[in-house]
């Protein structure tokens, strides 16, 4: 059950990610993970989408591609940053982002151990399928680090955390 709600300040958090660079176009390049502190989003409008796992069917096919397809619509609504978050490591997230063609449009962030999502009350136990604790499927719009929209999926599938729902809320 989510402990964060609209109007709340986002909790402190630091994510690992591999910044996009043209060198990553090579399948032989891995990049070097760096840290992104949530404080870097102060004064910005951020759409943060959380998925249970990179390369998993719903996340890979239905959830994230529409965000990339509608990138310009998000920008036109004043969004400064679009980021996808999962408990996968930074290298897996980077590989997934390269596979889907994020380049410098969408940040692929690692919520190591789902710790930040845990602070929001938004984790899911997928131990039964061998995944352990993961980030739940949700979308958050942050404006100057305040929650302006929170869409937590009530069951499998993509509705309130999908690109259309988030665009409509902006």
Is 110 inside a domain boundary? yes
Is 2 inside a domain boundary? no
Please give the pLDDT value at position 131: 67
Residue 21 carries which DSSP code? -
Please state, in angstroms and rounded to a whole number, the distance separating the CA atoms of residues 107 and 4: 22
pTM listed for this prediction: 0.90
Q: What is the CATH number of the domain that holds 38?
A: 3.40.30.10
Q: What is the pLDDT of residues 18-54, one digit of tens each?
A: 999 988 888 788 899 999 999 999 999 999 999 988 7
Please give the pLDDT value at position 1: 67
Neighbours of 84 (CB within 10 A): 26
Is 164 inside a domain boundary? yes
Please state, in angstroms and rounded to a whole number, the distance separating the CA atoms of residues 167 and 143: 14
Phi, psi (5° rounding) for residue 159? -135, -85
Please state, in angstroms and rounded to a whole number, the distance separating the CA atoms of residues 42 and 146: 9
Mean predicted confidence (pLDDT) in 128-135: 68
Given a contact cutoff of 8 angstroms between Cβ atoms, the answer to whether 105 and 12 are in contact is: no
Q: What is the DSSP string of 54-76?
A: TT-HIIIIIISHHHHHTHHHHHH
The total number of structural domains in the chain stands at: 1
Q: In terms of pLDDT, which residue wins out, 56 or 138? A: 138
Q: What range defines the domain where residue 140 resides? A: 30-169
Is 7 inside a domain boundary? no
Question: What share of the chain in percent tops pLDDT 90?
Answer: 59
Is 12 inside a domain boundary? no
Please give the pLDDT value at position 127: 61
Is 10 inside a domain boundary? no
Residue 5 has pLDDT above 80, yes or no: yes
| Positions marked active-site | 59
Burial class (CB within 10 angstroms; exposed 0-12, middle 13-18, buried 19+) of 101: exposed
Q: Which two tokens stand for residue 101?
A: 């063609």
């Amino acid at each position: 059950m989510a402990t964060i709600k609209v109007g709340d300040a986002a909790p402190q958090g630091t994510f690992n990610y591999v910044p996009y660079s043209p060198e990553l176009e090579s399948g032989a390049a891995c990049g070097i993970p760096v840290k992104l502190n949530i404080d870097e989003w102060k004064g910005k409008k951020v759409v943060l989408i959380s998925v249970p796992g990179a390369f998993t069917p719903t996340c890979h096919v239905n959830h994230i591609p529409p965000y990339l397809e509608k990138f310009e619509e998000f920008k036109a609504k004043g969004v400064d940053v679009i980021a996808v978050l999962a408990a996968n490591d930074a290298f897996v997230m980077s590989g997934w982002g390269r596979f889907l063609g994020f380049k410098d449009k969408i940040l692929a962030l690692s919520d190591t151990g789902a710790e930040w999502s845990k602070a929001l009350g938004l984790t899911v136990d997928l131990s039964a399928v061998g995944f352990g604790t993961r980030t739940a499927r949700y979308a958050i719009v942050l404006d100057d680090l305040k929650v302006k929209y929170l869409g937590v999926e009530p069951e499998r599938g993509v509705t309130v955390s999908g690109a259309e729902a988030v665009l409509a809320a902006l």
